[in-house]
Structure 1
């Protein structure tokens, strides 16, 4: 058995990457790949001596559970990254055994990104912005929130959702569920949401650089060299500093494209030098579920939450969106977004009609699983012409223009049996702000912010499952990858 994690999920080209590895084999090697138009093999390390380190026990006991709240303290191994490595997201594949075992292990291809004995990391450029003016933020905090620390044949199921660890405020740390980033678990979400979109970006010739949530949290000047920030897939957990830095970027004329959903739902507090975080969520505390108040929920007013609705930045919120039943990624309707305002530049070249000519409006992404697995929306109402308009009742900016909508009907109100509808419950919001709908839209606040309103936009675009989604994505990237005043 072999498993591991990186000490920090980003490294500048030419710097040392530290891997923490536990194995019951006498030796192991690391193969390095880069995600691009295809998964490219780059290098294989010299053999390292293997050492086994048992995971820390869960405070509640019960093997094979292990603690998600503390670092696992696996032995450390160093690898200096070449200075000429291109900015991107890289994969480290851990190969256990002697040289003959390593030779027998085939190289990975695009079908082998997901799996155990793998870890990913970001390589950042030595001169930020020189390679490209688009910055892709990998949603690493969300990845860790769901990481169960499993391995082949071992189900530890310990994260923020299964067997979480809650702490009261002490020693300068806030109260909440505590989660360490120094845990193994393999690669899952990267293969589903990011890999196809990154491959598409590179096939199309977009020059992109990459960062992690921790990079954005720590560096208020991180976004300065870039014109466009990308949030992709499932981007649920944000620190206050992350939000502040993106707000400042937009106010200064920078742009953001949220090809994501369930975005910025929970606030996190990084601790232990950024190697862990605390978040007071509604997840289980002892026998209490849901745990309320969940004071790190962004939208409710204190003391029920933070009092800073996420849609003031994104334009949309999971509060007005929903999720689908079954195992992730779940089944769901394939009706797509009913489009409106198709004279907007976002729809240029799509040929989509909005019904203003007297016909039926078209649907973007119809026939694909575009809407979901989770989706965000804005409080809205229909005007006299049947056009959905944001009301602003939930904190959505006045300039937000709804470009596509899919009404979530019927809505399931049960907190414990969520199917259609929103991740919400009567305990949180007794009075509703209106119907729920997945919502695609755009607003300006100095720079321009585009919101796809769905986690799986990157999958449909990356796999080129719908020509309209692909063209809208290109329109957004082409327009917003250059700062401009009054982009609308």
Structure 2
């Protein structure tokens, strides 16, 4: 009996010595930083030591900084981490070189160990990543084109800690209303913006980079550029972001929205930009709703309570757009643009004629697209301008798109079952800048696929709007 008890205690001791799971994850303490500054990195890991690698993602992946044997420690996860951040202590501070090119930077965390002392032996590895953006220390010194990355959208979809601003990927399908940047989580850079950046850099177009909310907190930088770009899925904008960009356009600045679902939802920055609130269809839960001062109400920009449809900025909006080859809509559709007004300068050198289609091979129209209310005369589309679309907006290409019913039932002004149209086009007002819109999240896929028409139109826009 005594021997049996001794053996049981020994086995129990072995199990007690089993290794804890190996993990590592972290986040950058800021969305963007200027060349020559430092950026704090916050890491939680069960490894005693870990490695960190920083690389710029562009036409090539360029490793710019590495550090090994950084002391590791597992950190607690607050229950409200999704809304208020992890509050982890700083693990390491990365010195951003004055010679680091402006751009999107990936942080890779790596950890390894040999497993348990008595059991579960064998080399184990863990790896995760985070991101930050390097701004040009002297804005406009290497390029007159600013690409503001969709960092707000990255945060909106991030469900680390249990909640995003979406029900479908949140804990128990409960949608969050406030989301923090100060937590681990992926970005959407590789899906949409990276193909554009790769194409631009390979074709000799220098870009300088910023985060979405640099338009809010560092608006003076706009004065150094001729053209601001939005690429991919630029869905979440604050009032100051929009005010500052529209003010810059009014003074002659140009914008090219190679993006879709753009400026769809209003967010409200909080905690000095470390988080934002977006109540979306639950706008009645927003404290701003109770005040009846709706300017910063965190719902759809096109909502009748805000009275500020995104069309007034971009020329188009999601209310008159919708989905193509996503969300069950037009899943076999021709995801290409039909050409209208081929004599316009954006089509110069393409050889396209009225009624031609382009972009089908790379399904450039999708996954979410913007449009405007249209009327047709002699087979040509014209904006009605009843939805906020500027009077000078020209519709240069269209493609049918449609909302999913689940997305519209909450909005009392919606006409159920309506089919809209993605509307490629632009507007220019007297004494102001020009605003172009591709009106689709997937335009850059045509650049990735080297579609000759998409390439030429993109070049026409970049070259015309940077003169």
Q: Same fold (TM over 0.5)?
A: yes
C-alpha displacement of 1:97: 3.3
Aligned to 2:343: 343
Please list the CA deviations of residues 251-310 of structure 1 after superposition, one character each: whole Å capped at 9, or x if unmatched: 111100001111111111111111001122126999xxxxxx9852212222xxx21110
Q: Distance in 2 between matches of 1:324 and 1:116?
A: 35
Correspondence for 2:461 among 473, 476, 480: 476
- Alignment of 1:133 onto 2:144: yes
Q: Deviations over 1:380-413 (max 9, x none)?
A: 1111x200111111110010000100123xx566
Match for residue 62 of structure 1? none
Name the CA distance, whole Å, in 2 between partners of 1:298 and 1:387.
28
Q: Equivalent residue for 1:95?
A: 110
**Alignment correspondent of 2:383:** 390
The count of corresponding residues between Structure 1 and Structure 2 is 421
Relative to structure 1, the CA distance from residue 92 to residue 330 in structure 2 (aligned partners, 3 Å threshold; closer, same or farther) is farther
In structure 1, which of residues 68, 71, 79 is the aligned counterpart of residue 82 of structure 2? 68
- One of 288, 300, 303 as aligned partner of 2:303: 300
Point out where structure 2 has 5 or more consecutive residues left out of the alignment: 1-22, 115-122, 286-293
Gaps of 5+ in 1: 59-66, 107-114, 150-155, 166-175, 287-292, 355-360, 416-422, 483-488
Report what 2:433 is aligned to: 447
> Aligned residue for 2:18?
none
Question: What is the match of residue 161 of structure 1?
Answer: 166
How far apart are 1:96 and its partner, in Å?
Answer: 1.4
- Cα deviation for residue 203 of structure 1 reads 0.3
Contact 2:82–2:179 (CA under 8 A) maintained in structure 1: yes
For the 8 Å contact 1:394–1:433, the answer to whether it is kept is: no
**Structure richer in strand, relative to its length:** 2
Greater helix content:
2
CA contact (8 A) 2:323 2:403 kept: no
Cα distance in 2 for partners of 1:251, 1:381 equals 28
Aligned residue for 1:207, secondary structure, equals coil
> Segments of 4+ in structure 1 off by > 4 A?
283-286, 324-332, 430-435
The one of 395, 405, 412 equivalent to 1:414 is 405
Q: Secondary structure at the match of 1:97?
A: strand
Matched, 1:428 2:442: no
| Compared CA separation, residues 186 and 116, structure 1 to 2 (3 A) | farther
SS in 1 for 2:76: coil
Deviation of 1:430 after TM superposition, in Å, equals: 4.4
* 2:12 paired residue number: none
Q: What CA distance in whole angstroms lies between the structure 2 residues aligned with 1:400 and 1:105? A: 58
Q: Deviations over 1:428-462 (max 9, x none)?
A: 3145897510110000131000000100001221x
The alignment partner of 1:217 has SS state of helix
TM-score by length of 2: 0.84
Q: Distance in 2 between matches of 1:372 and 1:312?
A: 22
Q: CA RMSD in A?
A: 3.0
**Contact 1:26–1:97 at 8 Å: present in 2 too?**
no
- The residue aligned with 1:14 is 36
**1:404 pairs with one of 373, 397, 410:** 397
Answer with 1 or 2: which has the greater Rg. Answer: 2
